[in-house]
């Protein structure tokens, strides 16, 4: 600590420049943290996806239902395919809660989903309660906090009037309870398929948005998917079946792959920090060469001078990284209606302790790399020439 006044004086030789560099480091590490966290989220989504879960969707739009829906009559035919252990039906009800920017999706399921998706965090009693309460829903803890809901609350989901047979502008759901989050399903809202189906217009009744299938052996998931599509190829609704893990990988890498852009964007931010800190530190050491010469004259060794330069490089990098990660964490906690639509549709970055530690380690590494050239200059300078002003 006795050397801290020297470091502090060096950092504030040019206050405006120091503040601008520190702000740039903070913003860059906020971007870096968001990108690394987003990459971690995509990795987690893929890791948690399963090969023994299949999604079955309609391959083409069905004109009679004005959408891409599947007849419930296909369930028995799918269940007879070898390797299939359970077939659950799911319908997605899209709308908003209170504010058009606060989008809500209720996943309405039938009683077979508890076998097709057994890892859902509902007890047997809760499943029974869900199917005994037509308008009941269970909501994850994270989603309940975002919407300000708790058990016993009413959740009106506002949809176009054509979504209901009676033309009502909203669906009145009642929150039966709050369930723990599942990795990748932090915003899950589970509803009752029978209630949703019976409230839809007559042409859409008897149809669902998707089948969720459990298979005995995940290693055979691709073969079973092909077999299901082959069995239904000549039906009124040909299907497209895909394993859950394959769907997760395709979702991450399809179109303009956001996941593949996270590292280049993070790297660009780190490179900018390196240029700023290295250039600022090199200029500071160059301008203060006479000061270092005086310090050497009064007895400061080369190791002490090296430590002073490293501290001068590390303090703005590490403090900027810490504050930048705090800013990134704050941004991930913002309600989605504060964000642009394109950003709100992305999964939330995972800013775990590991991501924070990785960011701080990168900050230290940047400080070391940025200090290499100034330290080399410091080792080679002549005390006599520096004191003489040469």
Mark out the alpha helices in 288-371 (DSSP H runs). Answer: 289-297, 302-332, 341-344, 353-370
Catalogue the long-range contacts made by 223-226 (C-beta closer than 8 Å, 24 or more residues apart).
Answer: 223/83, 224/54, 224/81, 224/82, 224/83, 224/84, 225/54
Residue with tokens 């642009």: 340
- pLDDT recorded at residue 336: 54
Does a structural domain hold residue 41?
A: yes
Residues 263, 272 contacting (CB under 8 angstroms): no
Question: pLDDT tens digits, residue range 359-376?
Answer: 888 888 888 887 777 777
Domain identity same for 200 and 82: yes
Indicate the DSSP class of residue 54. E
Please check whether residues 108 and 184 belong to one and the same domain: yes
pLDDT at 367: 81
* pLDDT value of residue 255: 47
246 within domain boundaries: no
Regarding whether 325 and 230 lie in a shared domain, the answer is: no
More confident residue, 112 or 182: 112
Q: How far is 279 from 287, CA to CA, in rounded Å? A: 12
Within this chain, do residues 178 and 289 fall inside the same structural domain, yes or no? no
With b for 16 or more beta-carbon neighbours within 10 A and e for fewer, the 23-62 pattern comes to: ebbbbbbbbbbbbbbbbbbbeebbeebbbbbbbbbbeeeb
Q: Between these two residues, 217 and 40, which has the higher pLDDT value?
A: 217
Give the least confident one: 170-174, 231-235, 292-296: 292-296
* Residues 168, 196: Cα–Cα separation, whole Å: 13
User: Is the same domain home to 213 and 340?
Assistant: no
Query: What pLDDT band is residue 342 in, cutting at 50, 70 and 90?
Result: very low
Same-domain pairing of 149 and 217: yes
* 321 and 262 assigned to the same domain: yes
Please report whether residue 250 resides in a domain.
Answer: no
* Boundary-marking domain end, from 173, 205, 237: 237
C-alpha span between 141 and 150 (Å, rounded) = 9
d(CA 345, CA 339): 9
In a domain, 382, yes or no: yes
In a domain, 161, yes or no: yes
Q: Clarify whether residues 347 and 215 are in a common domain.
A: no
Res. 164 pLDDT band, cuts 50 70 90: confident
* Other residues' Cβ atoms within 10 Å of the Cβ of residue 152: 9
Domain that holds residue 66: 60-237
Whether 295 is covered by a domain: the verdict is yes
The position carrying tokens 């990459």 is 39
Span 196-218, mean pLDDT?
88
Query: Could you tell me what percent of the chain has a pLDDT over 90?
Result: 23
> Is 340 buried (19+), middle (13-18) or exposed (0-12) by CB count in 10 A?
exposed
3-state secondary structure of 359: helix
Q: What is the pLDDT, as a whole number, of residue 226?
A: 92
Please indicate, yes or no, whether residues 155 and 265 belong to a single structural domain of this protein.
no
With contact defined as beta carbons under 8 Å apart, do 224 and 54 qualify?
yes
Residue 89: predicted pLDDT: 93
Q: What is the pLDDT of residues 104-151, one digit of tens each?
A: 899 999 999 999 998 888 999 999 999 999 999 999 988 888 888 999
Give the residue from 233, 240, 229, 209 showing the smallest Cα distance to 65: 209
- pLDDT of amino acid 254: 60
pLDDT at 385: 55
Same domain for 265 and 178?
no
User: What pLDDT does 68 receive?
Assistant: 74
pLDDT confidence tier of residue 3, bands split at 50, 70 and 90:
low
| The model's pTM | 0.66
What's the confidence (pLDDT) of residue 383? Answer: 58
In total, how many domains does the chain have? Answer: 2
Lowest mean pLDDT among 184-188, 333-337, 372-376: 333-337
153 and 113 within one domain = yes
Task: Let me know whether 191 and 147 are in one domain.
Answer: yes
């Amino acid at each position: 600590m006795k050397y801290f006044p020297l470091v502090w004086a060096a950092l504030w030789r040019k206050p405006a420049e120091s503040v601008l560099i520190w702000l740039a480091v903070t913003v860059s590490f906020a971007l870096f943290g968001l990108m690394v966290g987003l990459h971690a989220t995509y990795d987690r989504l893929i890791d948690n996806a399963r090969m023994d879960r299949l999604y079955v969707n309609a391959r083409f739009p069905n004109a009679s239902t004005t959408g891409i829906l599947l007849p419930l009559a296909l369930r028995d035919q799918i269940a007879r395919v070898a390797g299939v252990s359970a077939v659950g039906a799911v319908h997605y009800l899209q709308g908003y809660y209170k504010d058009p920017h606060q989008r809500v999706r209720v996943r309405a399921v039938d009683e077979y989903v508890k076998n097709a998706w057994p890892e859902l965090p509902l007890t047997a009693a809760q499943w029974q309660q869900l199917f005994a309460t037509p308008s009941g829903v269970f909501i994850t803890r994270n989603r309940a906090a975002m919407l300000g809901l708790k058990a016993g609350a009413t959740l009106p989901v506002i949809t176009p009037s054509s979504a209901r047979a009676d033309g009502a502008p909203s669906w009145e759901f009642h929150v039966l309870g709050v369930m723990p989050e599942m990795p990748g399903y932090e915003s899950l809202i589970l509803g009752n398929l029978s209630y949703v189906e019976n409230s839809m217009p007559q042409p859409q009744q008897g149809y669902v948005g998707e089948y969720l299938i459990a298979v005995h052996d995940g290693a055979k998931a691709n073969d079973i998917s092909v077999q299901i599509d082959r069995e239904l190829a000549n039906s009124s609704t040909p299907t497209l079946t895909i394993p859950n893990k394959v769907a997760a990988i395709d979702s991450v890498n399809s179109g303009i792959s956001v996941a593949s852009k996270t590292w280049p964007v993070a790297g660009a931010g780190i490179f900018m920090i390196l240029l700023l800190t290295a250039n600022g530190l090199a200029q500071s050491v160059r301008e203060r060469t006479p000061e270092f010469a005086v310090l050497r004259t009064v007895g400061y060794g080369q190791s002490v001078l090296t430590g002073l330069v490293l501290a001068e490089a590390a303090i703005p990098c590490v403090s900027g990284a810490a504050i930048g990660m705090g800013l990134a964490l704050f941004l991930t906690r913002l309600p989605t209606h504060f964000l642009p639509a394109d950003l709100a549709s992305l999964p939330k970055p995972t800013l775990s302790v590991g991501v924070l530690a990785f960011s701080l380690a990168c900050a230290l590494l940047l400080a070391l790399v940025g200090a290499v050239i100034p330290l080399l200059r410091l080792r080679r300078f002549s005390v006599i020439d520096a004191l003489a002003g040469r």
